[in-house]
Structure 1
Amino acid sequence: MCAPDPNAGIRRQAKERNKARIAKYYGDSIKQWNKESDFKENLKNIRGLGRSRALSDFQEYAAKAQGEALVGKQNAAAKMFRNQTVNEGGRSRNAGRAKQMEFFSKIADIDRKQYKLATVGDAKVQQKIQQSTQNMERKQRAQLGMGPQFGMPTMLPPKDRAGQFMNSLSFGMNVASGIMAFSDRRLKEDVTKVGVSPKGYDIFEWTYPARPNERWRGVIAQEVVKQNPMAVGVLPTGFLGVYYDLLDVNLEAV
Protein backbone atom coordinates (compact mmCIF):
# COMPACT_ATOMS: atom_id res chain seq x y z
CA MET A 1 0.00 0.00 0.00
CA CYS A 2 1.42 3.37 -1.01
CA ALA A 3 1.65 6.32 1.34
CA PRO A 4 -0.53 9.37 0.69
CA ASP A 5 0.63 11.91 -1.87
CA PRO A 6 2.42 14.76 0.00
CA ASN A 7 0.97 17.21 -2.54
CA ALA A 8 -2.61 15.97 -2.06
CA GLY A 9 -3.57 18.89 0.18
CA ILE A 10 -2.04 21.45 -2.17
CA ARG A 11 -3.81 19.82 -5.12
CA ARG A 12 -7.16 19.99 -3.30
CA GLN A 13 -6.58 23.67 -2.51
CA ALA A 14 -5.73 24.35 -6.16
CA LYS A 15 -8.92 22.60 -7.29
CA GLU A 16 -11.02 24.63 -4.82
CA ARG A 17 -9.37 27.85 -6.01
CA ASN A 18 -10.16 26.89 -9.58
CA LYS A 19 -13.81 26.19 -8.70
CA ALA A 20 -14.05 29.56 -6.94
CA ARG A 21 -12.45 31.27 -9.95
CA ILE A 22 -14.94 29.65 -12.34
CA ALA A 23 -17.87 30.59 -10.08
CA LYS A 24 -16.63 34.19 -9.92
CA TYR A 25 -16.27 34.27 -13.71
CA TYR A 26 -19.87 33.16 -14.23
CA GLY A 27 -21.07 35.59 -11.56
CA ASP A 28 -19.21 38.46 -13.24
CA SER A 29 -20.64 37.33 -16.59
CA ILE A 30 -24.19 37.76 -15.27
CA LYS A 31 -23.31 41.21 -13.90
CA GLN A 32 -21.77 42.15 -17.25
CA TRP A 33 -24.87 40.94 -19.08
CA ASN A 34 -27.00 43.23 -16.91
CA LYS A 35 -24.62 46.12 -17.62
CA GLU A 36 -24.81 45.47 -21.35
CA SER A 37 -28.62 45.37 -21.20
CA ASP A 38 -28.66 48.75 -19.44
CA PHE A 39 -26.08 50.05 -21.91
CA LYS A 40 -28.22 49.10 -24.92
CA GLU A 41 -31.31 50.67 -23.36
CA ASN A 42 -29.44 53.87 -22.48
CA LEU A 43 -27.90 54.00 -25.95
CA LYS A 44 -31.36 53.71 -27.49
CA ASN A 45 -32.61 56.60 -25.35
CA ILE A 46 -29.56 58.74 -26.16
CA ARG A 47 -29.81 58.21 -29.92
CA GLY A 48 -33.58 58.33 -30.02
CA LEU A 49 -35.33 60.29 -27.31
CA GLY A 50 -32.37 62.50 -26.36
CA ARG A 51 -31.51 63.47 -29.94
CA SER A 52 -35.11 64.05 -31.00
CA ARG A 53 -35.75 66.19 -27.92
CA ALA A 54 -32.74 68.41 -28.62
CA LEU A 55 -33.75 68.71 -32.28
CA SER A 56 -37.35 69.54 -31.40
CA ASP A 57 -36.14 72.28 -29.04
CA PHE A 58 -34.25 73.89 -31.92
CA GLN A 59 -37.18 73.51 -34.28
CA GLU A 60 -39.41 75.18 -31.72
CA TYR A 61 -36.93 78.04 -31.40
CA ALA A 62 -36.67 78.34 -35.22
CA ALA A 63 -40.46 78.41 -35.60
CA LYS A 64 -40.70 81.12 -32.95
CA ALA A 65 -37.98 83.15 -34.70
CA GLN A 66 -39.77 82.73 -38.04
CA GLY A 67 -43.01 84.00 -36.50
CA GLU A 68 -41.23 87.00 -35.04
CA ALA A 69 -39.67 87.68 -38.46
CA LEU A 70 -43.08 87.67 -40.15
CA VAL A 71 -44.41 90.04 -37.51
CA GLY A 72 -41.37 92.25 -38.09
CA LYS A 73 -42.07 92.34 -41.84
CA GLN A 74 -45.71 93.16 -41.20
CA ASN A 75 -44.83 96.01 -38.85
CA ALA A 76 -42.28 97.39 -41.31
CA ALA A 77 -44.82 97.34 -44.13
CA ALA A 78 -47.48 98.99 -41.98
CA LYS A 79 -45.05 101.70 -40.96
CA MET A 80 -44.08 102.38 -44.55
CA PHE A 81 -47.66 102.67 -45.79
CA ARG A 82 -48.69 104.72 -42.78
CA ASN A 83 -45.99 107.28 -43.43
CA GLN A 84 -46.39 107.24 -47.21
CA THR A 85 -47.28 110.73 -48.58
CA VAL A 86 -48.85 111.80 -51.80
CA ASN A 87 -46.34 112.02 -54.57
CA GLU A 88 -46.32 115.75 -55.28
CA GLY A 89 -42.78 115.88 -56.56
CA GLY A 90 -39.65 117.38 -55.15
CA ARG A 91 -39.20 116.91 -51.42
CA SER A 92 -42.12 114.51 -50.93
CA ARG A 93 -40.80 112.21 -53.64
CA ASN A 94 -37.36 112.05 -51.99
CA ALA A 95 -38.92 111.38 -48.59
CA GLY A 96 -40.98 108.55 -50.04
CA ARG A 97 -37.92 106.96 -51.58
CA ALA A 98 -36.11 107.15 -48.25
CA LYS A 99 -39.01 105.37 -46.53
CA GLN A 100 -38.98 102.64 -49.17
CA MET A 101 -35.23 102.18 -48.77
CA GLU A 102 -35.68 101.90 -45.01
CA PHE A 103 -38.45 99.32 -45.52
CA PHE A 104 -36.44 97.19 -47.95
CA SER A 105 -33.40 97.39 -45.68
CA LYS A 106 -35.48 96.16 -42.75
CA ILE A 107 -36.91 93.28 -44.83
CA ALA A 108 -33.42 92.33 -46.07
CA ASP A 109 -32.10 92.29 -42.50
CA ILE A 110 -34.95 90.03 -41.37
CA ASP A 111 -34.42 87.67 -44.34
CA ARG A 112 -30.67 87.57 -43.71
CA LYS A 113 -31.19 86.56 -40.07
CA GLN A 114 -33.70 83.90 -41.10
CA TYR A 115 -31.30 82.50 -43.70
CA LYS A 116 -28.46 82.44 -41.16
CA LEU A 117 -30.65 80.62 -38.64
CA ALA A 118 -31.75 78.07 -41.26
CA THR A 119 -28.18 77.36 -42.46
CA VAL A 120 -25.40 78.23 -40.01
CA GLY A 121 -27.65 77.95 -36.97
CA ASP A 122 -29.02 74.58 -38.02
CA ALA A 123 -25.50 73.25 -38.77
CA LYS A 124 -24.22 74.36 -35.35
CA VAL A 125 -27.17 72.77 -33.59
CA GLN A 126 -26.68 69.51 -35.50
CA GLN A 127 -22.98 69.51 -34.60
CA LYS A 128 -23.74 70.25 -30.95
CA ILE A 129 -26.30 67.44 -30.83
CA GLN A 130 -23.80 65.04 -32.41
CA GLN A 131 -21.04 66.00 -29.97
CA SER A 132 -23.40 65.70 -27.01
CA THR A 133 -24.57 62.29 -28.24
CA GLN A 134 -20.97 61.08 -28.67
CA ASN A 135 -20.02 62.32 -25.19
CA MET A 136 -22.96 60.52 -23.59
CA GLU A 137 -22.19 57.34 -25.55
CA ARG A 138 -18.54 57.55 -24.48
CA LYS A 139 -19.60 57.91 -20.85
CA GLN A 140 -21.91 54.91 -21.14
CA ARG A 141 -19.12 52.79 -22.67
CA ALA A 142 -16.75 53.83 -19.87
CA GLN A 143 -19.32 52.71 -17.29
CA LEU A 144 -19.75 49.43 -19.16
CA GLY A 145 -16.09 48.54 -18.58
CA MET A 146 -14.40 45.35 -19.67
CA GLY A 147 -16.07 42.00 -19.77
CA PRO A 148 -15.25 39.29 -17.21
CA GLN A 149 -11.72 38.00 -17.52
CA PHE A 150 -11.04 34.32 -16.92
CA GLY A 151 -7.37 35.03 -16.33
CA MET A 152 -4.46 32.65 -16.19
CA PRO A 153 -5.23 28.99 -15.55
CA THR A 154 -4.92 27.63 -12.03
CA MET A 155 -1.76 25.59 -11.88
CA LEU A 156 -2.40 22.13 -10.44
CA PRO A 157 0.70 20.78 -8.68
CA PRO A 158 1.72 17.34 -9.94
CA LYS A 159 1.57 14.27 -7.78
CA ASP A 160 4.73 14.05 -5.70
CA ARG A 161 5.87 10.58 -6.70
CA ALA A 162 9.25 10.96 -5.03
CA GLY A 163 7.74 12.22 -1.78
CA GLN A 164 5.12 9.50 -1.89
CA PHE A 165 7.86 6.92 -2.23
CA MET A 166 9.85 8.42 0.62
CA ASN A 167 6.77 8.51 2.84
CA SER A 168 6.24 4.87 2.02
CA LEU A 169 9.75 4.25 3.22
CA SER A 170 9.04 6.32 6.31
CA PHE A 171 6.25 4.13 7.66
CA GLY A 172 6.39 1.08 5.41
CA MET A 173 10.01 0.06 5.67
CA ASN A 174 9.75 0.02 9.45
CA VAL A 175 7.21 -2.81 9.47
CA ALA A 176 8.25 -4.76 6.40
CA SER A 177 10.99 -7.35 6.60
CA GLY A 178 13.50 -8.15 3.94
CA ILE A 179 13.10 -4.85 2.06
CA MET A 180 16.04 -2.51 1.64
CA ALA A 181 15.64 1.24 1.88
CA PHE A 182 17.90 3.66 0.02
CA SER A 183 20.52 4.74 2.51
CA ASP A 184 23.60 5.56 0.45
CA ARG A 185 25.47 8.69 1.49
CA ARG A 186 25.82 9.61 -2.20
CA LEU A 187 22.06 10.18 -2.39
CA LYS A 188 22.00 12.62 0.52
CA GLU A 189 22.96 16.22 1.19
CA ASP A 190 23.47 18.34 4.29
CA VAL A 191 24.14 15.25 6.42
CA THR A 192 24.32 15.87 10.19
CA LYS A 193 24.85 13.37 13.00
CA VAL A 194 22.15 13.82 15.65
CA GLY A 195 22.57 10.83 17.96
CA VAL A 196 23.35 7.18 18.61
CA SER A 197 20.87 4.30 18.99
CA PRO A 198 20.89 1.96 22.02
CA LYS A 199 22.68 -0.65 19.89
CA GLY A 200 25.33 1.86 18.88
CA TYR A 201 24.21 2.83 15.37
CA ASP A 202 24.92 6.45 14.46
CA ILE A 203 21.73 8.39 13.67
CA PHE A 204 21.85 11.11 11.02
CA GLU A 205 19.57 13.75 9.51
CA TRP A 206 19.78 14.80 5.86
CA THR A 207 17.96 16.17 2.84
CA TYR A 208 17.47 14.71 -0.64
CA PRO A 209 18.48 16.84 -3.66
CA ALA A 210 15.00 16.41 -5.14
CA ARG A 211 13.33 17.62 -1.90
CA PRO A 212 15.65 20.21 -0.30
CA ASN A 213 12.91 21.53 2.02
CA GLU A 214 12.38 18.20 3.80
CA ARG A 215 14.70 16.53 6.30
CA TRP A 216 14.87 12.83 7.04
CA ARG A 217 16.32 10.85 9.95
CA GLY A 218 17.88 7.39 9.87
CA VAL A 219 21.17 5.67 9.23
CA ILE A 220 23.77 5.76 6.48
CA ALA A 221 24.73 2.50 4.83
CA GLN A 222 28.44 3.31 4.76
CA GLU A 223 28.38 3.63 8.58
CA VAL A 224 26.11 0.65 9.26
CA VAL A 225 28.29 -1.72 7.23
CA LYS A 226 31.11 -1.13 9.72
CA GLN A 227 29.00 -2.59 12.54
CA ASN A 228 26.50 -4.90 10.85
CA PRO A 229 27.40 -5.90 7.27
CA MET A 230 24.36 -8.20 7.11
CA ALA A 231 22.06 -5.16 7.39
CA VAL A 232 23.50 -3.59 4.22
CA GLY A 233 22.98 -4.62 0.61
CA VAL A 234 23.54 -3.35 -2.91
CA LEU A 235 20.48 -2.17 -4.84
CA PRO A 236 20.06 -2.78 -8.61
CA THR A 237 21.00 0.85 -9.19
CA GLY A 238 24.41 0.29 -7.60
CA PHE A 239 23.63 2.32 -4.49
CA LEU A 240 23.73 0.86 -0.98
CA GLY A 241 20.57 0.09 0.94
CA VAL A 242 19.81 -0.82 4.55
CA TYR A 243 17.46 -3.39 6.07
CA TYR A 244 15.91 -1.23 8.77
CA ASP A 245 14.13 -4.24 10.27
CA LEU A 246 17.57 -5.48 11.39
CA LEU A 247 18.34 -2.22 13.19
CA ASP A 248 16.93 -0.38 16.17
CA VAL A 249 16.61 2.83 14.12
CA ASN A 250 13.63 3.86 12.00
CA LEU A 251 13.66 5.85 8.76
CA GLU A 252 11.38 8.82 9.33
CA ALA A 253 10.62 12.30 8.09
CA VAL A 254 11.58 15.01 10.56
Structure 2
Amino acid sequence: MYFFITQLSLCDILVTTDIVPTLLLTVLYGGSTMTLIGCIIQLSLFVISDSSECLLLSLMSYDRYLAICNPLRYNSIMNHVFCVTSVIVTWLVSFMVMLIDVISFYNLHFCGPHVIDHFYCDLEPILQLSCSDTSIIHKQIFILGYFIVMGPFIIIVMSYVYIVNTILKIPSNTGRHKAFSTCSSHLIVVSLFYGTLIIVYMFPPRGQSLILSKILSLSYTVVTPMLNPIIYTLRNKDFKEAFYKIKHVF
Protein backbone atom coordinates (compact mmCIF):
# COMPACT_ATOMS: atom_id res chain seq x y z
CA MET A 1 0.00 0.00 0.00
CA TYR A 2 2.84 2.43 0.84
CA PHE A 3 4.44 1.76 -2.52
CA PHE A 4 1.20 2.62 -4.33
CA ILE A 5 0.73 5.73 -2.16
CA THR A 6 4.14 7.03 -3.32
CA GLN A 7 2.98 6.69 -6.93
CA LEU A 8 -0.32 8.37 -6.08
CA SER A 9 1.63 11.24 -4.51
CA LEU A 10 3.68 11.52 -7.69
CA CYS A 11 0.44 11.86 -9.71
CA ASP A 12 -0.81 14.57 -7.34
CA ILE A 13 2.47 16.50 -7.57
CA LEU A 14 2.40 16.23 -11.36
CA VAL A 15 -1.17 17.49 -11.76
CA THR A 16 -0.81 20.38 -9.28
CA THR A 17 2.50 21.48 -10.83
CA ASP A 18 0.81 21.37 -14.21
CA ILE A 19 -2.48 23.12 -13.36
CA VAL A 20 -2.04 25.39 -10.32
CA PRO A 21 0.41 27.97 -11.84
CA THR A 22 -2.02 28.66 -14.71
CA LEU A 23 -4.91 28.76 -12.25
CA LEU A 24 -3.13 31.34 -10.06
CA LEU A 25 -2.25 33.53 -13.06
CA THR A 26 -5.87 33.41 -14.22
CA VAL A 27 -7.19 34.35 -10.78
CA LEU A 28 -4.64 37.13 -10.15
CA TYR A 29 -4.62 38.77 -13.59
CA GLY A 30 -8.01 37.74 -14.99
CA GLY A 31 -6.42 35.47 -17.59
CA SER A 32 -3.15 34.15 -18.98
CA THR A 33 -1.64 33.47 -22.39
CA MET A 34 -0.21 30.21 -23.65
CA THR A 35 1.04 28.89 -26.96
CA LEU A 36 -0.64 25.95 -28.67
CA ILE A 37 2.38 23.77 -27.88
CA GLY A 38 2.26 24.86 -24.24
CA CYS A 39 -1.44 24.08 -24.10
CA ILE A 40 -0.89 20.60 -25.54
CA ILE A 41 1.96 19.96 -23.08
CA GLN A 42 -0.30 20.98 -20.19
CA LEU A 43 -3.05 18.70 -21.50
CA SER A 44 -0.54 15.86 -21.91
CA LEU A 45 0.67 16.06 -18.30
CA PHE A 46 -2.91 16.29 -17.09
CA VAL A 47 -4.00 13.19 -19.05
CA ILE A 48 -0.99 11.18 -17.83
CA SER A 49 -1.47 12.11 -14.17
CA ASP A 50 -5.24 11.58 -14.06
CA SER A 51 -5.12 8.35 -16.06
CA SER A 52 -2.39 7.01 -13.78
CA GLU A 53 -4.38 7.96 -10.68
CA CYS A 54 -7.45 6.08 -11.96
CA LEU A 55 -5.40 2.93 -12.55
CA LEU A 56 -3.48 3.29 -9.27
CA LEU A 57 -6.68 3.59 -7.25
CA SER A 58 -7.91 0.32 -8.79
CA LEU A 59 -4.59 -1.34 -7.89
CA MET A 60 -4.94 -0.08 -4.34
CA SER A 61 -8.46 -1.50 -4.13
CA TYR A 62 -7.11 -4.88 -5.30
CA ASP A 63 -4.41 -4.60 -2.63
CA ARG A 64 -7.09 -4.05 0.05
CA TYR A 65 -9.15 -6.91 -1.38
CA LEU A 66 -6.25 -9.33 -1.01
CA ALA A 67 -5.36 -8.05 2.48
CA ILE A 68 -8.91 -8.52 3.81
CA CYS A 69 -10.46 -11.29 1.71
CA ASN A 70 -7.40 -13.45 1.03
CA PRO A 71 -4.76 -12.55 3.67
CA LEU A 72 -2.93 -15.89 3.58
CA ARG A 73 -1.95 -15.39 -0.06
CA TYR A 74 -1.35 -11.63 0.23
CA ASN A 75 2.46 -11.76 0.46
CA SER A 76 2.80 -14.30 -2.34
CA ILE A 77 0.60 -12.30 -4.77
CA MET A 78 1.34 -8.71 -3.79
CA ASN A 79 5.11 -9.11 -3.96
CA HIS A 80 7.71 -6.60 -5.09
CA VAL A 81 7.77 -7.85 -8.68
CA PHE A 82 4.00 -7.55 -9.04
CA CYS A 83 3.95 -4.04 -7.55
CA VAL A 84 6.76 -2.72 -9.76
CA THR A 85 5.37 -4.39 -12.90
CA SER A 86 1.83 -3.11 -12.31
CA VAL A 87 3.07 0.45 -11.74
CA ILE A 88 5.20 0.36 -14.91
CA VAL A 89 2.20 -0.89 -16.89
CA THR A 90 0.07 1.86 -15.33
CA TRP A 91 2.42 4.63 -16.47
CA LEU A 92 2.85 3.08 -19.92
CA VAL A 93 -0.91 2.82 -20.47
CA SER A 94 -1.34 6.42 -19.31
CA PHE A 95 1.40 7.53 -21.72
CA MET A 96 -0.30 5.71 -24.61
CA VAL A 97 -3.64 7.36 -23.82
CA MET A 98 -1.91 10.74 -23.74
CA LEU A 99 -0.18 10.04 -27.05
CA ILE A 100 -3.48 9.17 -28.76
CA ASP A 101 -5.10 12.38 -27.48
CA VAL A 102 -2.14 14.58 -28.40
CA ILE A 103 -1.90 13.24 -31.96
CA SER A 104 -5.64 13.80 -32.43
CA PHE A 105 -5.53 17.36 -31.05
CA TYR A 106 -2.38 18.32 -32.93
CA ASN A 107 -4.13 17.62 -36.26
CA LEU A 108 -6.99 20.01 -35.48
CA HIS A 109 -7.27 23.42 -37.12
CA PHE A 110 -7.96 26.53 -35.05
CA CYS A 111 -9.24 29.65 -36.79
CA GLY A 112 -10.19 31.79 -33.76
CA PRO A 113 -11.16 33.06 -31.35
CA HIS A 114 -8.26 31.55 -29.42
CA VAL A 115 -9.70 32.07 -25.94
CA ILE A 116 -10.33 29.10 -23.61
CA ASP A 117 -13.04 29.80 -21.06
CA HIS A 118 -11.40 27.60 -18.44
CA PHE A 119 -8.49 27.79 -15.99
CA TYR A 120 -6.42 25.16 -17.85
CA CYS A 121 -6.28 23.41 -21.23
CA ASP A 122 -8.91 20.70 -20.80
CA LEU A 123 -10.22 18.39 -23.51
CA GLU A 124 -13.65 19.90 -24.17
CA PRO A 125 -12.65 23.61 -24.05
CA ILE A 126 -9.95 22.98 -26.68
CA LEU A 127 -12.34 21.07 -28.93
CA GLN A 128 -14.84 23.95 -28.77
CA LEU A 129 -12.24 26.26 -30.34
CA SER A 130 -11.51 24.00 -33.32
CA CYS A 131 -12.86 24.65 -36.80
CA SER A 132 -12.38 20.96 -37.71
CA ASP A 133 -14.91 18.17 -37.36
CA THR A 134 -14.44 16.91 -33.79
CA SER A 135 -17.12 14.19 -33.78
CA ILE A 136 -14.54 11.39 -34.17
CA ILE A 137 -12.39 12.84 -31.38
CA HIS A 138 -15.44 13.07 -29.09
CA LYS A 139 -16.13 9.39 -29.70
CA GLN A 140 -12.45 8.59 -29.10
CA ILE A 141 -12.45 10.48 -25.78
CA PHE A 142 -15.66 8.71 -24.76
CA ILE A 143 -14.19 5.25 -25.51
CA LEU A 144 -10.87 6.01 -23.81
CA GLY A 145 -12.76 7.51 -20.88
CA TYR A 146 -14.71 4.29 -20.36
CA PHE A 147 -11.50 2.30 -20.58
CA ILE A 148 -9.47 4.51 -18.22
CA VAL A 149 -12.17 5.82 -15.88
CA MET A 150 -15.04 3.33 -15.82
CA GLY A 151 -12.87 0.19 -16.15
CA PRO A 152 -10.88 0.84 -12.96
CA PHE A 153 -14.04 2.12 -11.25
CA ILE A 154 -15.81 -1.20 -11.90
CA ILE A 155 -12.80 -3.05 -10.45
CA ILE A 156 -12.95 -0.82 -7.35
CA VAL A 157 -16.68 -1.40 -6.88
CA MET A 158 -16.31 -5.17 -7.27
CA SER A 159 -13.39 -5.21 -4.83
CA TYR A 160 -15.39 -3.36 -2.20
CA VAL A 161 -18.40 -5.60 -2.67
CA TYR A 162 -16.21 -8.57 -1.69
CA ILE A 163 -14.50 -6.54 1.06
CA VAL A 164 -17.80 -5.48 2.67
CA ASN A 165 -19.15 -9.01 2.40
CA THR A 166 -16.03 -10.37 4.15
CA ILE A 167 -16.07 -7.67 6.85
CA LEU A 168 -19.72 -8.38 7.71
CA LYS A 169 -18.82 -12.03 8.34
CA ILE A 170 -16.25 -11.09 11.01
CA PRO A 171 -17.86 -11.98 14.37
CA SER A 172 -16.35 -9.27 16.61
CA ASN A 173 -17.02 -5.53 16.35
CA THR A 174 -13.32 -4.84 16.96
CA GLY A 175 -12.33 -7.05 14.06
CA ARG A 176 -14.86 -5.42 11.74
CA HIS A 177 -13.72 -1.93 12.74
CA LYS A 178 -10.03 -2.83 12.24
CA ALA A 179 -10.71 -4.36 8.82
CA PHE A 180 -12.75 -1.40 7.65
CA SER A 181 -10.22 1.15 8.92
CA THR A 182 -7.54 -0.35 6.64
CA CYS A 183 -9.49 0.70 3.53
CA SER A 184 -11.44 3.75 4.75
CA SER A 185 -8.78 6.24 3.56
CA HIS A 186 -8.75 4.72 0.09
CA LEU A 187 -12.55 4.75 -0.03
CA ILE A 188 -12.65 8.46 0.83
CA VAL A 189 -10.13 9.31 -1.91
CA VAL A 190 -12.01 7.22 -4.48
CA SER A 191 -15.29 8.94 -3.63
CA LEU A 192 -13.78 12.43 -3.96
CA PHE A 193 -11.83 11.73 -7.14
CA TYR A 194 -14.23 9.54 -9.12
CA GLY A 195 -17.37 11.40 -8.07
CA THR A 196 -16.30 14.53 -9.94
CA LEU A 197 -14.32 12.84 -12.72
CA ILE A 198 -17.24 10.68 -13.88
CA ILE A 199 -19.65 13.64 -13.94
CA VAL A 200 -17.28 15.76 -16.05
CA TYR A 201 -16.12 13.17 -18.59
CA MET A 202 -18.78 10.47 -18.68
CA PHE A 203 -21.83 12.74 -19.01
CA PRO A 204 -22.52 14.78 -22.15
CA PRO A 205 -20.80 18.20 -21.88
CA ARG A 206 -23.94 19.98 -23.14
CA GLY A 207 -25.79 18.78 -20.08
CA GLN A 208 -23.46 20.72 -17.79
CA SER A 209 -23.21 24.43 -17.13
CA LEU A 210 -19.79 25.96 -17.70
CA ILE A 211 -19.53 27.11 -14.07
CA LEU A 212 -20.39 23.62 -12.77
CA SER A 213 -17.77 22.08 -15.06
CA LYS A 214 -15.12 24.47 -13.74
CA ILE A 215 -16.02 23.76 -10.11
CA LEU A 216 -15.91 19.99 -10.65
CA SER A 217 -12.61 20.29 -12.52
CA LEU A 218 -11.20 22.32 -9.63
CA SER A 219 -12.19 19.49 -7.29
CA TYR A 220 -10.12 16.72 -8.91
CA THR A 221 -7.21 18.89 -10.07
CA VAL A 222 -6.61 20.92 -6.89
CA VAL A 223 -8.83 19.89 -3.95
CA THR A 224 -8.33 16.11 -4.15
CA PRO A 225 -4.50 16.27 -4.50
CA MET A 226 -4.45 18.68 -1.54
CA LEU A 227 -6.61 16.38 0.62
CA ASN A 228 -4.89 13.10 -0.28
CA PRO A 229 -1.86 13.60 2.03
CA ILE A 230 -4.15 14.68 4.87
CA ILE A 231 -6.50 11.73 4.43
CA TYR A 232 -3.74 9.12 4.26
CA THR A 233 -1.58 10.56 7.06
CA LEU A 234 -4.22 11.38 9.66
CA ARG A 235 -5.67 7.88 9.47
CA ASN A 236 -2.30 6.15 9.34
CA LYS A 237 -1.17 4.42 12.54
CA ASP A 238 2.54 4.54 11.64
CA PHE A 239 2.36 8.27 10.96
CA LYS A 240 0.58 8.92 14.25
CA GLU A 241 3.24 6.98 16.18
CA ALA A 242 6.05 8.88 14.43
CA PHE A 243 4.29 12.19 15.08
CA TYR A 244 3.89 11.44 18.79
CA LYS A 245 7.59 10.50 19.04
CA ILE A 246 8.64 13.78 17.44
CA LYS A 247 6.20 15.67 19.68
CA HIS A 248 7.69 14.11 22.81
CA VAL A 249 11.22 14.93 21.68
CA PHE A 250 10.39 18.64 21.46
Q: Indicate whether the TM-score tops 0.5.
A: no
Which structure shows the bigger proportion of residues in helix conformation?
A: 2
Q: TM-score, normalised by structure 2?
A: 0.22
Q: TM-score, normalised by structure 1?
A: 0.22
Greater relative contact order (Cα < 8 A, sep 6+): 2
